[in-house]
Amino acid sequence: MAALRLWSRRRAVGPRAGVRGLAAGRHDYDLLVIGGGSGGLACSKEAAQYGRKVAVLDYVEPSPKGTRWGLGGTCVNVGCIPKKLMHHGALLGNAIKDAKKYGWDISLPVRHDWGVMANAVQNHVKSLNWGHLVQLQDKKVKYLNLKGVFVDQHTIQGESKKGEKTLLTAKNIVLATGGRPRYPVNIPGAEFGISSDDIFWLRDSPGKTLVIGASYVALECAGFLTGVGLDTSLMIRSIPLRGFDQQMAHLVTDYMTSYGTRIFWKCTPVKIEKMNSGKLQVIWKNLASDIEERESFDTVMWAIGRAPETQNLCLDKAGVRLNPETGKVIVGAGEETSASHIYAIGDIAEGRPELTPTAIKAGKLLAHRLFGRSTQLMDYDNVATTVFTPLEYGCVGLSEEEAVRRYGEDSIEIYHAYYKPLEFMVAERDATQCYIKMVCLREDDQRILGLHFIGLNAGEVIQGFALGLKCNATYSQLASTVGIHPTSAEEVNKLNITKRSGLDATVTSC
């Protein structure tokens, strides 16, 4: 194994040195992973278990607002982890209000301190950053805080924050650079807004906030901002939660409205102006009435989608093909790209779910195929997920729309129910949007194609049922399963009313 070759800025670097190493059949690493997010870290650590020489390149470009973070990728630093913690913080506020109904002597209204929450969340994230560094060291994976670009198919040039450049060669390379929030390019004043890369690292309260977008990121952030008592609005141009079951998506937004989030439907921003007071005046067009409206906010947050981090990798020098429409890397069933020995996992891979657990599992399985005797491929079917809005939405399998598209409306049976969680009873909370939908084939034992659940702890509920769909569970099998009482999850086992029947699907408690 060749020693690590270092070039200073005074010495020229280029493809020639990399080609010489390649011609000799010698590489610095058996595996080089570009990207220190969940998928890349999982892949690197798993590969190191086989005694291979492995390195991870990770470099975080600051957000346009200057926000920086450490090792661990989107999920750890600016995604799942801080999002779920702030979501939980918001739910605690509701629990305090409910507690009075249960006899707790609590003075209302309660006041939330953003700074305390943010500091606690940020400290936890920093502990995870450190934990990932320690794990890499324990697994003997080399961590390199370098920004990598391709020189050729086996050679990467890494550049440090100081501009120092390093050439690295590897027999196998895995791309796991993830994505970053998109900013609009044609809206004057867009630069005054922040993104989800920034919201979790704000030290001070964002105050009155407008969230622009309809993705799960937009809905989740608007939800916990409302939940901690902030005046929060959500601007949606077309439909909420594109790609999800639309009946469920609108139940989620209906609950958010009742929860206190204002939603501007069919509206699109035209311009943002920074006022002398420091507030941001947003001018938008109502697409339904074609009328321009305006209002001032303390903070504007963009949540209009994410772009894959592929444009600055010089992938053309490695022969890696991208989908020109999405900018994502085209991959095969084994995560392989168009270039030999280069693979892509996670959010940058075309056609893959943008979910942390899929990236982790795909990365581990790839390492097993590369260095073990495994031939097991990642199975991307029936992957469960949850949207952590104030009333959570968990799902696995096909939406009603997708099932109809694939099989035809006459071949689909929908079982559904509106239910009221026991936890809502004494607290006298509205349960109008608590709803379960099961999408089945009509033939034979009615194989379950999709399950959708809106309610408390939706993620905990849907996880177990995901196994059932993996095992091709049928409606008759589920109906024969005895539920745990009293839980919301048992309502899934009790589903017996079909949409086709037209009967009232409201469940009465025992």
Report whether 224 contacts 89 (CB < 8 A). Answer: yes
Q: According to the 3-state scheme, what is the secondary structure of 184-207?
A: CCCCCCHHHCEEHHHHCCCCCCCC
Let me know if 485 is a catalytic residue. Answer: yes
Q: Can you tell me the distance from the alpha carbon of 252 to that of 120, in angstroms, rounded to the nearest whole number?
A: 28
Beta-bridge mates of residue 450: 397, 439
Name the token pair of 367. 């390492």
Number of neighbours of residue 285 by Cβ within 10 angstroms: 17
Would you tell me how many other CB atoms lie within 10 Å of the CB of residue 110?
Answer: 11
β-pairing, 393-397 vs 194-195, is unpaired
Helix (H, G, I), strand (E, B) or coil at 447: strand
328, 322 in Cβ contact below 8 A? yes
For residues 272 and 300, the answer to whether their CB atoms sit within 8 Å is yes
d(CA 346, CA 376): 17
Looking at the chain, the number of H-run helices and the number of E-run strands are 14, 22
Rounded to a whole number of angstroms, the CA Rg of the chain reads 25
Paired strand residues for 435: 418, 454
- Given the residues 132, 250, 452, 485, the one annotated as active site: 485
Query: H or E segment at 253?
Result: helix 246-259
Measuring CA to CA, which residue among 188, 230, 181, 182 is closest to residue 209? 230
User: How many Cα atoms are found within 13 Å in the side-chain-facing hemisphere of 262?
Assistant: 10
* Residue in the block written with tokens 């959570």: 392
- 381 vs 141, 239, 437, CA distance in Å? 31, 24, 19
Q: What is the 8-class DSSP label of residue 237?
A: S
CA atoms within 13 A on the CB side of 451: 30
- How many Å apart are CA 430 and CA 351, to the nearest integer? 38
Residues marked active site are found at: 485
